[in-house]
Structure 1
Amino acid sequence: MLEYLIKRLVYTVPIFLGVSVVCFALVHIAPGDPLISILPADASVELQEMLLTLYGFDRSYPEQFLMWLWRALQGDLGTSIATGRPVAAEVFRAVGNTLMLAAVATLIGFLFGCLFGFVAGYFSNSWVDRAASALAVLGVSVPHYWLGMVLVIVFSAQLGWLPATGAGPGGSASWRWDFEHVQFLILPAITMSVIPMGIVARTVRALVADLLAQDFIVGLRARGLSELGIFLHVVKNAAPTALAVMGLQLGYLLGGSILIETVFSWPGTGLLLNSAIFQRDLPLLQGTILVLALFFVFLNLAVDVLQTALDPRIKRA
């Protein structure tokens, strides 16, 4: 197990380098002047040159990349052009909010997705299966930003049950686990959970239907094993794949929450990326993308290790 873990950690090194190169290149390929958001219209040439030197934009791209990568390895992601605050502080505060939202949404999606998937798999080709599968397809197909706006209209504007935007009373970005703050989490979490719920449900349904048709299930029934025992065997065999899908969905939600966080004004990485894109804030954009990419890489590593612990066949392979 330790050897496998070391191997996987070594594999992440070239992935990290590749992610950093792509992150740096994509941000610099985009058109526009990164200093336009902070320079006044009548800025002098001397001021422009001073800021270019300050942020290192007067150097060649390879030099900029090596300087940025060296500082990033030391935990310094630079300074935001728009706000003048350290990028690392802004990114990690936003990552905490996004991670909390994505974790709650993934948990909701995983629980209900497994429920629908197991029910559909056990009652394969029945009306229950068709209803659960239809819900799963609907969850994958509905645009989540549109669903978010519908939920805001219904539960905030019309019924007044839940707040529409923000992460706390009075627009506060600080978080506490009490009802006043949790109610701000409900609508965005439900909106984000719809897609992973549909994907997990379809995956689990296919796994359960396939497992129930296997010869070893027939043998277990012939030996008189109870339905609860058979269910536990099915869960044990389906768990590694379901966990892998859940881990991937959590990673996708961390990086793909920009539309939902913009709709609900949730102070996470999605909203941070949105403002960085429109303000052309290159250090903030690079730092946010890099941190999210690394989260995704290490999340996949954690899922691989967990799969190996649950499934002996992966160890033998």
Structure 2
Amino acid sequence: MPVLRFLFWRAMQVIPVIFMATLAIFGLVQLVPGDPAATIAGEYATAENIEAIRQSLGLDRPAWEQYGTWLWNAVHGDLSNSLLTGLPVLDEVMRQLPSTLLIAVLALVIAILVGVPLGILAATRANSMLDRVVTGIASLGVAVPNFWLGMILVSIFAVGFGWFPTTGARPLTTDFWGALQHAVLPAATLATGGIAEITRQLRSSLIEVLQSQYVRTLRAKGLSPALILWKHGLRNASLTLLTVVGLVFNHTLGATVATEAVFAIPGAGSMIVNAAINKDFPIVQGAVFVLVMIVIAMNLIIDLLYTVLDPRVKKD
């Protein structure tokens, strides 16, 4: 029951965050220059036609009234309809979202599988040449722009060797291996920053643990270095690692916008960009809202895992 109570209070704390997020999403979209009604009406439309479209879409109402209507409908699962296609926004987002989530999750898996061993290696060889090489590579991973790295990977592994498709995506439900093939290069592009962050943070946390009085006492008792590392060192550094993993996923999900553009992937990120260009504001608001909810859900999952790794969290 303490876990359920902990999650309940965490969920209550999320409600103001969701409200502020919706306010920010709606407000920023309103600041985008251009009139959606004029875009829909076309280049040669008259002022009367544009005004009629504005009235039919409710764009002539005050901003606060538009926000209230949108928020009320969003709470009930209605994210409005696309201004250009007339299709429900939620259906459009759900159609494009799986490609984005596949890339983000695969990038996170790659970052963990590569970053954790590198962080452990650097921490156990602190201040050695190997440590300097690993931390140098990690710093390079943060500095390299994703869009540039994506083009390099396409040139080498897609165009040069022909191992992976250059662009596009496949539905995960109907073509599992094809979807993975299309997702490998975009995920590898996004994973570089996550690898660097996990490596650096785990290294710092693990070094601090291994140099603590607690670990020195364990060494004095004759415990093997491997047992100290795996049973005590990593367990104490796990909260830091879990926090970094959550942050990496959130950052990766946001970074898919540029990566999807490089690889021409029909995902949520590219949909937001295209909708913003075409002034299809309901699509922009709805897609960003769904991504924000995913980030919030990820944070709640991280909070739950905190209670598993450290029961003291439930008492805070």
TM-score (norm 1): 0.94
61, 78, 92: which one pairs with 1:59? 61
Q: Is the contact made by 2:201 and 2:241 (CA closer than 8 Å) also made in structure 1? A: yes
Does the C-alpha gap of structure 1 residues 3 and 199 become closer, same or farther in structure 2, counting only changes over 3 Å?
same
Aligned to 1:316: 315
Once structures 1 and 2 are overlaid, which stretch shifts more, 82-91 or 17-26?
82-91
1-side partners of 2:102 and 2:172: how far apart?
Answer: 13
Q: CA deviation at 1:25?
A: 0.4
Does the C-alpha gap of structure 1 residues 308 and 265 become closer, same or farther in structure 2, counting only changes over 3 Å?
same
Among the aligned pairs, what percent are the same residue? 37
Q: CA deviation at 1:180?
A: 3.0
Q: CA deviation at 1:157?
A: 1.9
Q: CA deviation at 1:109?
A: 0.4
The residue type paired with residue 178 of structure 2 is E
- 1:217-296 alignment, distance < 5 Å: 217-231=215-229, 232-296=231-295
Q: Is the contact made by 1:167 and 1:185 (CA closer than 8 Å) also made in structure 2? A: yes
199, 207, 210: which one pairs with 1:209? 207
Q: Is the contact made by 2:38 and 2:45 (CA closer than 8 Å) also made in structure 1? A: no
85, 106, 109: which one pairs with 2:108? 106
Runs of 4+ displaced beyond 6 Å = none
Aligned to 2:125: 123
140, 147, 158: which one pairs with 2:160? 158
2-side partners of 1:299 and 1:53: how far apart?
Answer: 39
Q: CA deviation at 1:36?
A: 3.2
Q: Which runs of 5+ in 2 are unaligned?
A: none
Q: CA deviation at 1:74?
A: 1.1
SS at match of 1:246: helix
Q: CA deviation at 1:79?
A: 1.0
Q: CA deviation at 1:101?
A: 1.0
SS at match of 2:39: coil
The residue type paired with residue 179 of structure 1 is W
2-side partners of 1:122 and 1:138: how far apart?
Answer: 21
Does the C-alpha gap of structure 1 residues 177 and 113 become closer, same or farther in structure 2, counting only changes over 3 Å?
farther
Aligned to 2:33: 31
Once structures 1 and 2 are overlaid, which stretch shifts more, 213-222 or 195-204?
213-222
1-side partners of 2:254 and 2:298: how far apart?
Answer: 12
Q: Is the contact made by 2:93 and 2:286 (CA closer than 8 Å) also made in structure 1? A: yes
Q: CA deviation at 1:92?
A: 1.8
Q: Is the contact made by 2:190 and 2:255 (CA closer than 8 Å) also made in structure 1? A: no
Residues 108-151 of structure 1: per-residue CA shift (max 9 Å, x gap): 00121111100000000001101110111111110011000111
Q: CA deviation at 1:104?
A: 0.7
Aligned to 1:306: 305
2-side partners of 1:202 and 1:115: how far apart?
Answer: 11
1-side partners of 2:133 and 2:314: how far apart?
Answer: 38
Q: CA deviation at 1:179?
A: 3.2
Q: Is the contact made by 1:77 and 1:86 (CA closer than 8 Å) also made in structure 2? A: yes
Q: CA deviation at 1:20?
A: 0.7
7, 11, 14: which one pairs with 1:12? 14
175, 197, 200: which one pairs with 1:199? 197
SS at match of 1:85: coil
1-side partners of 2:298 and 2:47: how far apart?
Answer: 46
Q: Is the contact made by 1:121 and 1:206 (CA closer than 8 Å) also made in structure 2? A: yes
Residues 59-84 of structure 1: per-residue CA shift (max 9 Å, x gap): 00011001111111111111111222
Q: Is the contact made by 1:119 and 1:129 (CA closer than 8 Å) also made in structure 2? A: yes
Residues 242-300 of structure 1: per-residue CA shift (max 9 Å, x gap): 11111111112122211001101122111111101111110001111111112112211
Does the C-alpha gap of structure 1 residues 165 and 40 become closer, same or farther in structure 2, counting only changes over 3 Å?
same
2-side partners of 1:256 and 1:159: how far apart?
Answer: 26
The residue type paired with residue 249 of structure 1 is V
SS at match of 1:36: helix
Q: CA deviation at 1:175?
A: 4.7
Q: Is the contact made by 1:121 and 1:208 (CA closer than 8 Å) also made in structure 2? A: yes
Q: Is the contact made by 1:37 and 1:82 (CA closer than 8 Å) also made in structure 2? A: no
Q: CA RMSD in A?
A: 1.5
2-side partners of 1:130 and 1:93: how far apart?
Answer: 45
Aligned to 1:182: 180
